[in-house]
Structure 1
């Protein structure tokens, strides 16, 4: 049993949308296939993965550094103790050989993308959905029912309040009970008007979260907090620079309701510093670490250990990214849910065909691996890379 190839292609996921910090007009993503010599049900087992939106494709790092370390490793060194499957932890260690500590930037995305494909392959070799495999590994009871919220509300050329209202109403019509919109890309008065338009539209049918994408300095963050605290928001997200833990800690003095952050922290060490110094409150706040951006599930398991050490429940984690990998982690390891992009970043966002949102939850299908084969538009692109 061995990995015989790792393929990567960088694909555009361009869109005219923007948040408070970036536009997506030239955004790319890496799609990876980990090709094994294992055959299941007459088909070669191939694991697939891709990086989350908001970070660019990592083809150079994948092809020039991390791919080669795996392929050059002795095949038996990448297997589990029983020798009947690949070992994601050993593969991760092979990838990270000769890497200095720290520097959790672009390389964390490259490693996380390959790691996703490795776990997909491992679960397929085992013949199980990844979420059930993860639960078994941890001695937990898998819960196939996962909370999801609809992320949208981006700034878009010519998009007025009526279009924003229609977008949010569309999410409610599809079964979501929490919706999210962007703030910080306009004046505070304009954002307040947009927020009130959405709240008027959704009424008591759903809750609204707002996301500043790390845009605010302390003065602006406080001004928004004072404006926002009059509304019954689900959370106030990524208020300032992701590494400005002092700013995040200060916000608890001005905003009693839930806050969320973590999507741009890329290691368990960063997560530990957030919990040490960021003033995050385990009884109400949410953590949004995204395994596809932060060295993958192998690293995410270390992050969950850090949370446990600080008295946090995994149910306070609702990852960024809207991808099926985090859905599996949520169902298998007891996270609080997952982000969802019903209309954006296709074919990578969304769920397998036929999976519907009901009262804010989806039920995981019983598909081997991560479940990419159940999403027809996505698996078509994946199989173009490697079959």
Structure 2
């Protein structure tokens, strides 16, 4: 068996929204199709992958470095010991060959996107949902098909007022979410607090708000927000400062006793380890948001989970960024704490298979082969156009 072809297409996911740091008016992503010579139901097995929002498409890196390395390798070096399936770890090592360590940059996104497509193909070849394959290979064989999800929204956009913000949050609650998220740092502290108060006015018992600064603040501003936010029972205070400013993150524990979250912009096991070593994160309350699609894929994510175990962290403290079905499968198969969700944004790539509904803040994973992209009609239509 072998990989016949790998295709990439850069697609727009633009939207007139912004967080505290960037706007999404020119945002793109890479969609990848890994076409194999394995036939199921009369058709070649194709694995699909795409990168998360917030980082742009990486087609040039893929086409110039990573796809050629895979396609020029001896196919026998890319399959598992049974000879019946691809080996994601061997393929990852092939992609990373002749790469220096450190300075991860955008290559982690390029590799992570291809890695997602490889895992989709591997699970389809084995005839299993990816979450079941992961539970079989790296767990006890018993996935937790019920996964916590929260609704990421609350972006700044032209014409947004408090009533529109409240309507947005009500729409998430009406769809079954119990935790919603709002961006902060794109307005003044006083205005952000007024927006928080507006959202809290529509939440009921058992429903919570998380806030996200997207790395905008210096230490003094992060502390000012921490003090002001301490009056609320928030789900978390997310990424207050630059993601690599571990000293800032560690200092905040002296000013903010409630849960914090960060990690979505750390793209390797080594950077994640530095956060755990030096960032002052508290394993009893804080949350880790590493996103496999941006950080070299599931092969690297498995290394990150092992590192967390060695440092006394439960993988249940991980709620990945990105809102994609790959992380949903990892959460179900490997016991993470949940996953981000974009109910309305970055379509058709955000969201769940069409039959999946949010109930009391949780979704239940359906029995679909691979990652399950085929269960989302609008997304699968785009994917088929690439692989046809």
Distance in 2 (CA, whole Å) between partners of 1:207 and 1:239 is: 19
SS of alignment partner, residue 60 of structure 2: helix
5 Å matches for 1:41-56? 41-56=41-56
2:331/2:339 contact within 8 Å kept: yes
TM-score (norm 2): 0.99
5 Å matches for 1:1-387? 1-140=1-140, 141-387=142-388
2:37/2:44 contact within 8 Å kept: yes
2:139/2:333 contact within 8 Å kept: no
TM-score (norm 1): 0.99
SS of alignment partner, residue 16 of structure 1: coil
Q: CA deviation at 1:367?
A: 0.3
Distance in 2 (CA, whole Å) between partners of 1:205 and 1:337 is: 17
Runs ≥4 residues deviating over 4 A: none
Cα RMSD (Å): 0.5
Report Cα offsets for 1:246-289 as digits up to 9, x if no partner: 00000000000000000000000001000000000000000000
Distance in 2 (CA, whole Å) between partners of 1:310 and 1:139 is: 19
2:267/2:295 contact within 8 Å kept: yes
Distance in 2 (CA, whole Å) between partners of 1:360 and 1:190 is: 28
Q: CA deviation at 1:342?
A: 0.2
Report Cα offsets for 1:311-359 as digits up to 9, x if no partner: 0000000000000000000000000000000000000000001100000
SS of alignment partner, residue 204 of structure 1: coil
Distance in 1 (CA, whole Å) between partners of 2:160 and 2:22 is: 17
SS of alignment partner, residue 203 of structure 1: coil
Distance in 2 (CA, whole Å) between partners of 1:194 and 1:379 is: 37
SS of alignment partner, residue 233 of structure 2: coil
Count residues in correspondence. 387
2:263/2:290 contact within 8 Å kept: yes
Distance in 2 (CA, whole Å) between partners of 1:232 and 1:143 is: 28
Report Cα offsets for 1:21-52 as digits up to 9, x if no partner: 00000000000000100011112100000000
Q: CA deviation at 1:206?
A: 1.0
Report Cα offsets for 1:54-93 as digits up to 9, x if no partner: 0000010011110000000000100001111000000000
- 5+ residue gaps, structure 1: none
SS of alignment partner, residue 202 of structure 1: coil
SS of alignment partner, residue 10 of structure 1: strand
Distance in 2 (CA, whole Å) between partners of 1:226 and 1:243 is: 22
2:139/2:334 contact within 8 Å kept: no
SS of alignment partner, residue 32 of structure 1: strand
SS of alignment partner, residue 358 of structure 1: coil
SS of alignment partner, residue 52 of structure 1: coil
Q: CA deviation at 1:205?
A: 4.7
Distance in 1 (CA, whole Å) between partners of 2:347 and 2:301 is: 25
